[in-house]
Amino acid sequence: MNRRNLFGTALALIAAIGLVGCKEDKAASEQAAAKPAEIIHWKMVTSWPKNFPGLGTSAERLAERINAMSAGRLTVKVYAAGELVPALEVFDAVSRGTAEMGHGTPYYWKGKVPAAQFFSSVPFGLSTLEMNAWLSHGGGQALWDETYAPFGVKPLPAGNTTMQMGGWFNKEINSLDDIKGLKIRMPGLGGEVWSKLGAITVNLPGGEIFTSLQTSAIDATDWVGPYNDLAFGLHKAAKYYYFPGWQEPQAVVESMVNQKAFDALPADLQAIVVEAARAATLDMMDDYVFNNAKALQSLKSEGVQFKRLPDEVLQAMREQSNVVLEALAAENDLNGRIWASQKAFLEEASAMQALTEKELYNWR
């Protein structure tokens, strides 16, 4: 065989090998395309009544957002309070892995995780924007992760109800004496402050508030603000609507994720869960600012009596809030580090707000 024939044979062989390779690559691609993507199914348990405005609907929208962003690769089915687990057992369900996700607010789990209260709402504390900034840029999220880590739960902010109201009362509060013996539903650190001033506090899920107030099982309750309070019809069960919401100047709503379930996700789905929760925070803030304003006008038209807590009472509540917070911080090193971090940012943020938003609200 001469050189020319040898060269031609070699080229033909190379071409044949390449053609076979291309066919194999094409076949592999077609097989991959034909193979359906794995679909992961999660359950989300919540602390809210089904489709309850703002809270329940936010959980539904979060699930829908995850489904859409993942193109259906991760689907989340939402269960309202009581459908799979009771409202106040959501944290336990996620910790055990009964559900991969939960939707509630951190102070509901204070019996199991006392430090969780710092990540929900602190009396006379950070505003909504300030809380979001502390969590995302001030080290708050890392401290929150550390708090929930022993329980196998990953916390994510997934909403905020913005500043709340002081609550609904069937008894007037004109002085500190009126607090003694008052039966009030108020969870979290605010409830501890009421207790220190002589009230009897209880923690009830939202679905039990109206009946308890109407039947005088309690004399007063906080819930959220005009938007949610109107939806529950609380104005039909109590005479007076007090402000300001000193106990909850904002209130974080969280999405809890079972850590093992989260770790099992591919990186892109992990990012989708995190960013969907982040988007849900802004969505809920907008929802509450808009609908609180409208609901307030509705309550006024219903003849609701709005009352401001007396300065004497607010001053005492502020003093007792400091006592409660310092006592919680002193319980262990983690609590102390959380409160030190949040308090330091509160001082910095207050100086800025005094020059900006406070002045605007005073003048507009």
d(Cα 354, Cα 287) in Å, to the nearest integer? 26
SS3 content of the chain, % helix, strand, coil (to 5): 55, 15, 30
Percent of the chain past pLDDT 90, that is, above it, reads: 87
| In the chain, domain spans | 40-163+249-303
Binding residue numbers for Na(+)? 223
Binding residue numbers? 164, 185, 222-223, 248
The answer, yes or no, to whether residue 12 has pLDDT greater than 50, is no
- 44-81 pLDDT per residue, tens: 999 999 999 999 999 999 999 999 999 999 999 999 99
Work out the angle between the directed axes of helices 140-148 and 333-355 (0-180°, nearest 10): 150
Of these ranges, 9-18, 198-207, 274-283, the one predicted with the greatest mean pLDDT is 274-283
- 18-48 pLDDT per residue, tens: 444 445 555 445 554 445 678 999 999 999 9
Give the confidence band of 5 by pLDDT, cuts at 50, 70, 90.
low
pLDDT reported for residue 36: 64
pLDDT reported for residue 30: 54
Q: What residues form DSSP beta bridges with 40?
A: 74
In our burial notation (b when 16+ CB lie closer than 10 A, e otherwise), range 185-212 reads bbbbbbbbbbbbeebebbebbbbebbeb
Mean pLDDT for 110-117 is 95
pLDDT reported for residue 360: 95
d(Cα 66, Cα 61) in Å, to the nearest integer? 9
Q: Classify the C-alpha dihedral 119-124-128-130 as positive or negative.
A: negative
pLDDT reported for residue 204: 86
- 96-107 pLDDT per residue, tens: 999 999 999 999
The answer, yes or no, to whether residue 317 has pLDDT greater than 70, is yes
The answer, yes or no, to whether residue 134 has pLDDT greater than 90, is yes
Residue 21 burial by Cβ neighbours in a 10 Å radius (0-12, 13-18, 19+): exposed
Binding residue numbers for substrate? 164, 185, 222, 248
State yes or no: cis peptide before 157, omega within 30 of 0: no
Q: Which CATH superfamily is domain 40-163+249-303 in?
A: Bacterial extracellular solute-binding protein, family 7 (3.40.190.170)
- 182-220 pLDDT per residue, tens: 999 998 899 999 999 999 999 888 889 999 999 999 999
